[in-house]
Amino acid sequence: MENSLRYNSNYFRLYFKDGGIVAIDRAKLVRLGEDPAFNPEKEKFFEDFLGIYIVDDAFFCALSLKSEEIYEKFGIRKSTNLIVLQISNDKSKDKYSSLILNGLKLCNLYTSKKQDLTLTQQQNAKHEVTRDLFTWNFEAKSNAMRFGLENNTTNFIAGNIEKFQTPDFDFILISRRVNKNNGPRYWARGADSDGFVANFVESETIIVKSDTTYAFVQVRGSIPIEWSQYPDLRPQPEVVIGSTSNCKKDCQAHFNFLRKSYGDTIVGICLTENRGRKEGNLTKLYLHYGNQEKGVKVIHFPMNTICKGNNFEKVSTVLPEIQKYLDEIGYSEIISGRVTKSQAGVVRTNCLDNLDRTNYMQQYVASQVLKDFSLENLKNYAVAWSDNGDSISIQYCGTRSLTGEIVKTGKLSLKGKLSNAVVSTRRFFINTWKDGRKQDEYDAVNLKTLPRPVKRAFPLIEFLVILMFAFMTLIRHGIIAFRGAIRNAKGTLVQHPSFKEIKYPDPNSKDEFDILMN
C-alpha cells in the first residue's frame, strides 16, 4: 500500500505505510488523537514527506510524489514531481504554496534509503550522524515536530549528481549545498557572522571498483569576508566590503567551520584577480586574513590572467604550489564497508561567483588526486564536471556555466565565445529583474519561518518619483549629490526580495584598508 494524503476543508490526513496515520484539524492546527471519520474531497499518493513549511503564520505540507533512480548501488533517487499544499486552510495565503514549491524546484533534490546522502562516503562508512547543515529540508523537518511527524520525514540533499560507468569502475560526482546563507548571485555574497558563505557547495568525486570505494571531497564558496554586491542596473554592480574587524571575524569563523568539518589541513585556491576595484581588494583581504589562520594556506592563482588567450592548459601550473597539500589531505578508501584510508583536510576553491573558473579548477584537482584512474583522459569525466558546473550555475545565477566547453575540450571556440556573450546578457536580465523573487524562494525553504512579506511600490512609479527628486537635488546640491540620487533611482528598478533584510556592510575607510595592506 502506498503513502497517501486525504483531505477536505476540515481535516488533513497523512497515511504512512511504515508509520501509521496522522490526522490534523485544519482550523485548530493540532494533531488529533484519533483518526476522524470524514469524506475526503481529494487524495494524493506520495513517496516521501519533506516536512512542514511556515510562511506568514500559514502551514504548508511538502510531498515528493515521484522519483527516478540515479544510482542503484547507493540507492540514490532524484525527486521528479513535488507538491506543496496548505494545511492551515487560509485561502488568502494559498499564494505561498507556489513560493515554496518554486523554492524546492530551484535545486535538484536527492534521497536514498541505502545511504545517508548528507554524509560523505567516509562518514557513511564510519556511521556518523546525519549532517543537518546538508539536509535541505532541515527546517521543514523541525517544523513537523509540531504534529509529531519528524520521524516520518525523508532527508533530502540539494545540488547535483552525475555518474557514468567504465569497464573498470563506476564514477559518481555528488555536489551538496548547505542550507545556510543561500540565495541568487548578487543577493548572496560573502560570509555571515557564523562563517557560512554564500554558494557553499561540497563536491565529492567517487570511484566504485568492485567492493572498494575511493572518494575525494572538496568545497567551493564565496570569499569568506563581509562583502556585498547588490544589483544596481550595472552589468558589474559595485562591490562593498565590510570593516576590517568584521572581515577578520567572518574569515576566522569560516575556517573554524572548515577545520571542524574536514580536518586541520586546508588549502585555498583563490582564482580572483588582485587588481581592479571589483576583485582586487577582495582578493587582498582574503589572502591577508586566510593565511593568518592555523593550518590554512591560501594560494593566489589569477586564472583569467594566467590562462589568458585560451591557454587553459596552464591551469596545471598550480600543481607545484598545491601538491604537498594534496599529499597531506589525500583521499578516502573504503574496502567492504571499512575505512582503510581517510581524507584529512580539504581543498577550498573560489572565484568571484564560485562557478565558472571554480568548476574548471575543481575538476582538475580531483583528477590529480585520483590520478591512478587517469580520469583526465576520459571524455565522460569532462562531461560529468561540465554538466555539474551547469547545474550549480543555474541554481546560483540562473544560467549555465561559461566554462562548459572549456571543461569538455580545454578550449573556447568562437561559437562558444558568442554563446557565452548571450549567456552573460541573460545573467544580467535574470540577476536584475528575476532574482529578488528567487531570494524569497530560497528563504521559503531554508528558513524556519517567514514573516509577512514587505509590500513594495511598483518599481516604475517609484523610479520616476526618485528620478524627479534627483533632478531637484541637482538644482539644490550639485553634481555629486545628483549622482548619488541617480544611483538610488536605478536601484528601485531592480527586483528586490520581499522577506530578506538588505544590509549594506559598514565599509572600511580608505586609510584603514591602505594601512592593513601595507
Spell out the SS3 assignment of 305-336: HHCCCCCHHHHHHHHHHHHHHHHHHCCEEEEC
Q: Which residues make beta-bridge pairs with 5?
A: 14, 44
Q: What is the largest CA-CA distance in the chain?
A: 78
Residue 354, Cβ density class (10 Å: 0-12 exposed, 13-18 middle, ≥19 buried): buried
Q: Which residues make beta-bridge pairs with 432?
A: none
* Angle between helical axes of 510-517 and 280-290 (0-180°, round to 10): 50
pLDDT at 457: 45
Contact between 248 and 226 under an 8 Å Cβ cutoff? The reply is: no
Contact between 158 and 50 under an 8 Å Cβ cutoff? The reply is: no
CA atoms of 335 and 121, how far apart (whole Å): 11
Q: Are strands 332-335 and 170-177 parallel, antiparallel or unpaired?
A: unpaired
Residue 91, Cβ density class (10 Å: 0-12 exposed, 13-18 middle, ≥19 buried): exposed
Q: Are strands 58-71 and 48-55 parallel, antiparallel or unpaired?
A: antiparallel
Instruction: Spell out, as residue ranges, where the chain has pLDDT lower than 50.
Output: 457-458, 482
Using one digit for the tens of pLDDT, what is the confidence trace for 136-152? 999 999 999 999 999 99
DSSP 128: P
Q: Which helix (H) or strand (E) holds 429?
A: helix 414-433
3-state helix, strand, coil in the chain (%, to 5): 40, 25, 35
Report how far apart, in Å, the C-alpha atoms of 103 and of each of 107, 140, 478 are.
8, 13, 45
CA atoms of 49 and 24, how far apart (whole Å): 15
Report how far apart, in Å, the C-alpha atoms of 452 and of each of 55, 141, 146, 195, 406 are.
7, 22, 21, 28, 45
DSSP 15: E
pLDDT at 235: 83
pLDDT at 155: 98
Global pTM reads 0.91
